[in-house]
Amino acid sequence: MTFPRSAARTAGFSALYLVAMFLGRQTVMDGTNLSLVWPAAGVLALWFGTQRASRWRWLDVLSLAVITMTVNVATGATAALAAVFVAANLMQGCTFAVLVGRWLPEALITGDDGPVLSRLRQFWRLAGIAVLSSAAGTMIGPTGAWLLNRHLLWESAAVWMTRNVVAVVIVVVAGRYLGHPVRGWWRCRGTPRTGPGPWRSLPARKQAEYVAVLVASVVAYHLMFGFGRDLPAAFALIAITVWAGLRLSTGFVILHDLVFGTVAILFTLCGYGPFALIESQAVRALIAQLFVGTVTVVGLSLALSRDERDALTARLRQQARLLTTVIESVSEGIAVVDEENGFLVRNPAIERLLGGFDTTGDRVQSSTYYGLFHPDGTPIADRDLPHRRVFAGERLDPVEMLIRNAGIPEGRIVVVNTALMPGRINGLRHVVVAMHDVTEDRRHRDELANFAGVVAHDLLNPLATVEGWSQALLEDLDDPGALTDGITRIQRASTRMRALIDDLLVYTTARDAALAPAHCDLESLVADIAAGRRDHAQSAGETVPVFRFSGLDPVDGDPVLVRQLMENLIGNAIKYTGSGVTPTITVTTYADTAGPGMTRVEITDNGIGIPAGQHDAVFGNFHRAHVDAGYSGTGLGLAICKRIVERHGGTICASDNPDGRGTRVSFTLPSSRLPARAPTGPHPYRLRPSFERAR
């Protein structure tokens, strides 16, 4: 702070202190030379508290000493008594500045834009500082006066203490709370107002309440101090202060306490009101100051506590809105459920994950209502719902559930995490439920597992062929024809193993990458698959399947995925064949009339067929049409086929074999427009990445 600014502040506070001191000296009690009220104590606290960080504090001390000495001598005090009052005021002001710097630095600072007293904790600290600093001044002032004139009684010391405490609290609070808006108005006095003022922005009902409090205060104080003679009745006026403190702004409460406290003191000085009947001037002053102090403390305590409550409520609402926004924006379903199956909180994502099913009456419905199943497809009992198990005392790891209902007929796999909340809300325990959709993750995992299963199966086929024909070679070393046929089969099996290993490497390194369409020779592809299936059946001693295909049209597609598609469909056709029946698989192609530029591929078998009404459902995730027939599987094979076809822009469906028993699976793939690749081995339709690059 610069010297001119500090000096200007010193001059301003000196002027205020001079006026306040002069007014206080007009209320000197007879024979004691002590004032009934002392507003100068409040100005002194505000002065020294604001200037405590100034480098030129000696100017403030000098100005205070000169003013105190001059005014006291001019109003009838002796020079010695005036010197005592100078020492007492300096002690009180310095003590206040030191304590404020330690206990309340945020409330009284040197800057013009410092915060005001806005918390109840700050107010009580200010009251404590006022008591301690006034006590420090009382130890010097009344004691010195008693030593000089021997007329000071204990009541007078109590008056000194009480008047200074009340003055410090009222003046400091009023100065700091109302000073900032006054300075703001002064700085902007030449700026046109852009909106309605504080009064006009209030609702009409609130304006009427302000007017009612003012009218009630004027009437009540006039009746009480103009005509009342009963001491306890005066303190009944605190009811109006309570009304204002609970309902109206803190600034209004401060002004109300200041104005009507002054009214009570003026009536008492003029001999009116219940306090004027007290014969002892010291006791009269003490009671009057206690009344003003009580009104101030009650009003400010209520107003500041209400402000804190409103501010806390506003922050909580803001945090609640933020939390609500976060919860509603996340893709994971989140809910808080009580032990009576009621929802405390739930976000839109949980409704979406449950297939769009709304919850009637904000209560958790039965598991059958939502269509909840274990991953193996068995229904979940209500008692086994994750939140019910937590309420029963179990410590659960994440639980997987299958959701299948009218909203998500294809099914959805979710992982459910649960946690018991500490404590109780409305007397009930609550569990937090978090639901995460892992359908795509599980689909990727199961696609890889399915592909690995296909590859493992097809790797076992050539291995069995190699083993079987190697043994045959050992037994037929003398037969050249048998040797040639066996070696040919072994070479074909080893070539197929290499191709499958290459495909597995490509798939595991790029299964989520974009499609890599290429010219796919379906004729060669089906021939290769058929040869592998026949070789495996012969070496395993099983019924050798019969394949019928000829002149298959080529298509454009990702070679790895097209092979997996054909392997899955042909493998299913062989797998789901009745006992004692020779599997017969017919593969045909023709231009699709419904989709220009598409080739329709049909695979027809003579197997056990698909139960009626399930021809569409078999392409859903985890659907198994023959659960009780003893056939193993995950229910994902045809779902993976559907995904492969749809990634190529085609469609797939299943129907009964029109020529008899069995099933026909029909799908479309893009007709071939890409040039055929140069052969790189026995299967020219296949992309052949190098082993080193695949690694």
Distance between CA atoms of residues 411 and 404, nearest Å: 4
pLDDT at 556 over 90: yes
Together in a domain, 472 and 499? yes
Q: What pLDDT does residue 513 have?
A: 56
Reported as a pLDDT band with limits 50, 70 and 90, residue 689 is very low
Q: What pLDDT does residue 585 have?
A: 93
Name the domain boundary from 402, 437, 472.
437
pLDDT at 688 over 50: no
Together in a domain, 397 and 512? no
Name the domain boundary from 166, 187, 208.
187
pLDDT at 465 over 70: no
pLDDT at 487 over 80: no
* 194 belongs to a structural domain: no
Reported as a pLDDT band with limits 50, 70 and 90, residue 522 is very high
pLDDT at 235 over 90: no
Range 371-392 average pLDDT: 91
pLDDT at 509 over 50: no
pLDDT at 333 over 60: yes
Together in a domain, 174 and 240? no
Together in a domain, 82 and 54? yes
Reported as a pLDDT band with limits 50, 70 and 90, residue 449 is low
* 162 belongs to a structural domain: yes
Together in a domain, 255 and 239? yes
Contacts of 436 (CB under 8 A, 6+ apart): 332, 333, 414, 415, 416, 417
pLDDT at 108 over 60: no
Together in a domain, 224 and 368? no
Distance between CA atoms of residues 138 and 143, nearest Å: 7
Reported as a pLDDT band with limits 50, 70 and 90, residue 8 is confident
695, two tokens: 């690694």
Give yes or no for a contact between 281 and 153, defined as CB atoms under 8 angstroms apart: no
Contacts of 60 (CB under 8 A, 6+ apart): 10, 13, 47, 48, 51, 54
pLDDT tens-place string over residues 145-194: 777 766 556 677 888 888 889 888 888 888 877 666 666 565 666 666 66
How far the first Cα of the chain sits from its last, in Å, is 73
In 3D space, the residue among 520, 557, 521, 549 whose CA is nearest the CA of residue 533 turns out to be 549
Reported as a pLDDT band with limits 50, 70 and 90, residue 30 is low
3-state secondary structure at position 51: coil
With tokens 């990458």, the residue in question is 513
pLDDT tens-place string over residues 290-324: 888 889 899 989 988 998 899 889 999 999 888 88
Q: What pLDDT does residue 141 have?
A: 81
Together in a domain, 252 and 339? no
Together in a domain, 525 and 664? yes
For position 531, which CATH number holds?
A: 3.30.565.10
Q: What pLDDT does residue 439 have?
A: 86
For position 107, which CATH number holds?
A: 1.10.1760.20
Q: What pLDDT does residue 590 have?
A: 92
Together in a domain, 40 and 159? yes
- Rounded to the nearest integer, the mean pLDDT of the chain is 80
Distance between CA atoms of residues 159 and 645, nearest Å: 97
* 630 belongs to a structural domain: yes
Q: Please report, rounded to a whole number, the percentage of residues in the chain having pLDDT higher than 90.
A: 22
Name the domain boundary from 437, 465, 480.
437
* 192 belongs to a structural domain: no
The total number of structural domains that make up the chain: 4
Q: Are strands 584-591 and 546-548 parallel, antiparallel or unpaired?
A: parallel
Range 17-29 average pLDDT: 81
Domain ranges, residue 580: 443-694
pLDDT at 554 over 90: yes
Please, what's the b/e burial string for 358-374 (b: 16 or more CB within 10 A of its CB; e: otherwise)? ebeeeebeebeebbbbe
pLDDT at 507 over 80: no
Range 252-274 average pLDDT: 85
Q: What pLDDT does residue 184 have?
A: 59
pLDDT tens-place string over residues 627-669: 454 454 445 677 778 888 988 899 999 999 888 888 999 999 9
* 628 belongs to a structural domain: yes
* 543 belongs to a structural domain: yes
Q: What pLDDT does residue 499 have?
A: 61
pLDDT at 675 over 70: no
* 520 belongs to a structural domain: yes
pLDDT at 219 over 60: yes
The half-sphere exposure of 91 on its side-chain side, counting CA atoms within 13 A, is: 17
For position 402, which CATH number holds?
A: 3.30.450.20
Together in a domain, 239 and 158? no
Backbone angles phi, psi at 413, to 5 degrees: -100, 130
Q: What pLDDT does residue 592 have?
A: 87
Together in a domain, 30 and 137? yes
In 3D space, the residue among 82, 94, 104 whose CA is nearest the CA of residue 137 turns out to be 94
Together in a domain, 487 and 633? yes
* 74 belongs to a structural domain: yes
Reported as a pLDDT band with limits 50, 70 and 90, residue 602 is very high
pLDDT at 496 over 90: no
